[in-house]
Structure 1
Amino acid sequence: MHMADLGDVRLHYRIDGPDDGAPVVFVNSLGTDLRLWDPILPLLPDGLRILRFDKRGHGLSTCPAAPYAMGALVSDCEALMDMHGFKDVMFVGLSIGGMIAQGLAVKRLDLMRAMVLSNTGAKIGTKAMWAERIEDVQTGGIEKLADAVMDRWFSRDFHQGAELELWRNMLTRQEDAGYAGCSAAISGTDFYATTATLRLPTLGIAGAEDGSTPPDLVRETVNLIPGSKFHLIRKAGHLPCVEQPEEYARVLTDFMRATGHI
């Protein structure tokens, strides 16, 4: 575990794998920390150099006052990658992480070899919807949203198991201001025009039971990029890397091989 001082925020990050390994950057969703990727990492090929981090206001990173701008989240990721020599990477972003991926690809295409847009969109939700969620967090904390979030995150089958509590606890133990701040960043983002200018290998991954970013939204987003691929994971919601880690890891590995990353 390490902390990177970026000035207005200090980010908790972790790097795994050899210094000369094929570089991969994972950026997680709203309300989760870098442990989101734990289920799939043992299933990926050996020898990768993997960067994960907690967004501002999440996990063990510091929590500046809300709201945040998407540009700040993109710059956080850019600075961390530059700091540790991550370039020509396979970038895997889930939900808000996928928005950060799109923003960074437009700003610094030199950092990316290929991009995975998982359970995300060029635009997610409406300003009114996000304003309501931010108000709920400000008045009742994340706990006020937790049950509804679990319904969007996970399939019906997953709700029958004990592991649901792990992810509910991860959500509710995030900083209220961090959740509200990143919600504001999503609310203010519409990447349709800029994502349509991108030309890099792109894979979209969707969960069939995703209540946050439905498959049609993911497909519509990756279709903005010529030559992109799309994969639907059944029996999974917003976090298919948790519900179907074997399939998720296999799809990522196949994409790495198809693009010559490994």
Structure 2
Amino acid sequence: MTVTSLADARMLGLAKRMSLDTGFPRGLDTVTMVDAHPPAQLHRVRLADHDTVVAQRGDAGPAVLLVHALGLDHQMWEPVMDALAVGRRVFAYDVRGHGAAAGSPNPYTMADTARDLIGVLDAIGVQRAHVVGLSFGGGIAQTAAVRAPERFASLALLATTDFPFDAFEGRALSGENDGMAAQVAPSLTRWFTADALAVNGESVQYARERVLGGNPVDWAAAWRAFKSLDVQGKLADLGVPTLVLAGEADVSTTPEIMRGIATRIPGSRFRVLPGTPHMQVLEQPALVADALAEFWR
């Protein structure tokens, strides 16, 4: 089963097999998905102004919350969820405007996405979590950490930034004016190495389909929200273990940008993954899983 067909199966299953389970915190519906991967639970969660879905692997141990990149959805984390769920409860949710949360209210800001993250923790009954964010997800995680540091057991920032790029507005405008097909090539060439694009494996196919199937309104709203990122210098007193994980081959959030984040968070650990591009989890999942496991130990 390809990642694309897995995505189709998940959406079909979500529509057909959602049922209330009173064993979970109030406000959650849960469904067990059966596919080529180990069973995962999908919780339907109501946040302040929209619904979303939270995937869970693992039933015991410390909680981990994964926050995905712009244009993708919680399935981005599937290559590492099984490994991370050994001895842990691992959750990954669809950020507003993405996946099951597509069409949620906009415009919005990074402060709204931070409230969503805390809302997800409340809905799944987790007081403190090891939060991992990649790219846009890293911006969300940082914003939430500034807002509610007491909810963080640790923070892992993957291929992200602590300041908005000038290019964000251009990407929003291109989605609105040129459509989503025009976003595929520039996005994938930022995200993957040339070798991965040539092979065109499941992870590349998944990313292509998510971008191509996206809504231009949601796409533009997310980039404009990212423009409101305002965290630089505000995590100096965070006081929780922090990992800053860069990709050696990342042409978007370069190792230099990531090293700057680390210098602004005293006591953080900085690491560069060899040969790894922006979409670390999709192209080098084993390196990411190992780095996170080592960090948590």
Structure 1, residues 193-242: CA drift from partner, whole Å, max 9, x if none? Answer: 31233222110111112122111111111221111111111222111111
**2:223 is the alignment partner of 1:148:** no
Distance change >3 Å, CA 189–CA 45, structure 1 → 2? closer
Find the residue that maps to 1:194 and give its secondary structure: coil
1:160 alignment partner, one of 198, 205, 209: 198
Q: TM-score, normalised by structure 1?
A: 0.92
**2:82 is the alignment partner of 1:42:** yes
Higher gyration radius (CA): 2
1:2 alignment partner, one of 43, 46, 58: 43
2:170 counterpart residue number? 132
Letter in 1 for 2:98: H
Structure 2 residues without counterparts, runs of 5 or longer: 1-41
Find the residue that maps to 2:253 and give its secondary structure: coil
Separation in structure 1 between the aligned mates of residue 72 and residue 253 of structure 2, nearest angstrom: 16
1:45 positional shift: 5.2
- Decide whether the 8 Å contact of 1:31 with 1:174 is kept in 2: yes
Structure 1, residues 101-160: CA drift from partner, whole Å, max 9, x if none? Answer: 11111111111111000001111312xx22211111111222212101111001121111
Provide the aligned length of Structure 1 versus Structure 2. 254
Separation in structure 1 between the aligned mates of residue 128 and residue 49 of structure 2, nearest angstrom: 27
1:165 positional shift: 2.7
Separation in structure 1 between the aligned mates of residue 250 and residue 268 of structure 2, nearest angstrom: 21
- Decide whether the 8 Å contact of 2:57 with 2:85 is kept in 1: no
1:88 positional shift: 2.4
Structure 1 residue ranges (4+ consecutive) displaced by more than 2 angstroms after TM superposition: 42-45, 64-67, 195-199
1:15 counterpart residue number? 56
Separation in structure 1 between the aligned mates of residue 104 and residue 124 of structure 2, nearest angstrom: 23
1:67 positional shift: 2.3
- Greater relative CO (CA pairs within 8 A, separation 6+): 1
1:65 positional shift: 4.2
**2:146 is the alignment partner of 1:95:** no
1:244 positional shift: 1.1
1:180 counterpart residue number? 220
2:72 counterpart residue number? 32
**In percent, how many aligned pairs have the same letter?**
29
Coordinate RMSD, CA, aligned: 1.5
1:193 counterpart residue number? 233
**2:246 is the alignment partner of 1:206:** yes
Letter in 1 for 2:62: A
- Decide whether the 8 Å contact of 2:81 with 2:90 is kept in 1: no
Find the residue that maps to 1:60 and give its secondary structure: helix
Distance change >3 Å, CA 165–CA 16, structure 1 → 2? closer
Find the residue that maps to 1:174 and give its secondary structure: coil
Structure 1, residues 42-77: CA drift from partner, whole Å, max 9, x if none? Answer: 223513111111111101114134322101111111
Q: TM-score, normalised by structure 2?
A: 0.81
